[in-house]
Amino acid sequence: MDNSQNDPAFEAVLRNAGTIDPFLDAFFSFLARRTDFFVVSPPEGGKVGFPPGIAAKLIISKFKKWQDFCTVPPKIKEEVALPVPPVAQTITVESSNKSSNPLSTPAAVTKQLKKPNLQKAPSKVAQKKTEKDSEKSSNLWNSHNGRQSDKYAWSQSIKDLDVNIAIDKTIKTKRDLKVEILTKRVRITTISNGETEVVDWVLADPIIKDESYWSLYPGESVFLSLQKVKEKWWDHLFEGEERIDRNKIEAVRPMEELPDDEQVKIQEVVWNQEQKLKGLPTSEEAKLHKLMEKAWDVEGSPFKGQPFDPSLVHLANNTIDFPPGAQPPL
């Protein structure tokens, strides 16, 4: 699908919205009001909505696709975005002699060549350029912590995998494909002109098939989002594939995937570090200051009658170290 054909409609919405934030709000509002995109299908399945979490993963996958597209050099983007058209669509005929024959005009010749029985096959040069465009498209695939080839690429986080698999340019709709995602197997076949196997993989480890899904980029690739059963790093995607070096895996995970208590601890550590750099008390020091302030002027305090001044007390390892002669009575 040529995404540019939708530009006038999107430009009109963006013009009406004014800025990106209300534009995105209008887009998701449309999905919520006019589609079943946000509907969560029941565990037993259904004809509307998506399984839990799949809609959000679909949005993220599209975001990653176009984020990666924007990070490649402009020259490559231009070549990928503008594939080489078939020869029959670019032939023009110039003639200085007028003729009553309607086929003597460039428009008539081009129109006639577009008919199935008269259309010329693409030249070898055009075929090579088309193959080159396909290779450049595959270079846009994400292979972080995974593997990249001209036929497929995969990336992974600790919880899931994203896989892109190249398909023939004639595959334009999901009806042209049969995709099977099982616990330990992925099988893709084309069914438009008889069944032709694209891939038949026995996966390295089990996946959660009910939380995995696939989508089609017409004429380009099949995208798979596979949810791992166990949170672990894979060193190969399927049996028979060459293993990647585990030592080169960037074994990190997004903070939002950590348990809530661990997120709180990390945020506290970061906040305390920022406080130290600013010369301000950390969270533990702030707690001790509050305790000192409460006990500062009580009966028996060595500081009774004096204004509260925490600098008079040295804090060492989050304990109060009174100066000589200022210890409170036991």
Output the DSSP codes for 269-288. HHHHHHHHHTT---HHHHHH
In this predicted structure, what is the pLDDT of residue 214? 93
Contact 211, 54 (CB under 8 A): yes
* Residues 67, 210 share a domain: yes
* Total length of the chain: 330
Residue 48 forms part of a structural domain = yes
Per-residue pLDDT at 31: 87
pTM, entire model: 0.45
Phi-psi region of 16 (alpha: psi -120 to 50; beta: other; left: phi over 0): alpha
Asked whether residue 128 is assigned to any structural domain, the reply reads no
Residue 213's alpha-carbon distances to 55, 67, 162, 254, in angstroms, are 10, 21, 10, 22
Q: Are residues 65 and 147 in the same domain?
A: yes
Domain boundary among 248, 271, 305: 248
Q: Are 163 and 152 in contact (CB under 8 A)?
A: yes
Final residue in a domain of this structure, among 187, 220, 248: 248
Residues 195 and 209 in one domain: yes
Task: Give domain status of residue 254, yes or no.
Answer: no
pLDDT tens for 195-248 read 889 999 999 999 999 999 999 999 999 999 999 999 999 999 999 999 999 888
Q: Which residues contact 160 (CB under 8 A, 6 or more apart)?
A: 57, 225, 226, 227, 228
| pLDDT, position 39 | 84
What would the two tokens of residue 304 be?
Answer: 């009774």
In a domain, 126, yes or no: no
- At CA 214, angle to CA 209 and CA 220, rounded to 5? 150
Tell me what pLDDT residue 68 has. Answer: 75
**Is 330 within the bounds of a domain?**
no
Amino acid at 279: G
The answer on 313 and 267 residing in a single domain is yes
Please tell me whether residues 238 and 104 are part of one structural domain: no
Instruction: Give me the pLDDT at residue 151, please.
Output: 92
Q: What is the domain extent for residue 113?
A: 87-121
| Distance, first Cα to last Cα, the chain | 82
Residue 111 within a domain: yes
Cα–Cα dist 199/323, whole Å: 75
Q: Are 318 and 284 in contact (CB under 8 A)?
A: yes
Residues 73 and 102 in one domain: no
Same domain, 154 and 286: no
Together in a domain, 143 and 291: no
Residues 210, 156 within the same domain: yes
pLDDT in tens, 83-104: 444 443 433 344 444 444 443 3
Indicate the number of domains in the chain: 3
Domain boundary among 221, 248, 275: 248
Check residue 68 and give left, alpha or beta (phi > 0: left; psi -120 to 50: alpha): alpha
* pLDDT (tens place) for every residue of the chain, 330 residues total: 556 677 778 877 887 777 888 888 888 888 888 788 888 877 666 667 777 888 888 888 888 877 877 775 554 444 444 444 444 343 334 444 444 444 334 443 333 434 444 444 445 544 554 444 444 455 568 888 999 998 999 999 889 999 999 999 989 898 899 999 999 999 999 987 778 899 999 999 999 999 999 999 999 999 999 999 999 999 999 999 999 998 888 877 666 666 777 778 888 888 888 888 888 888 888 888 788 788 777 787 777 788 887 777 765 555 555 544 445 444
At residue 291, the pLDDT reads 81
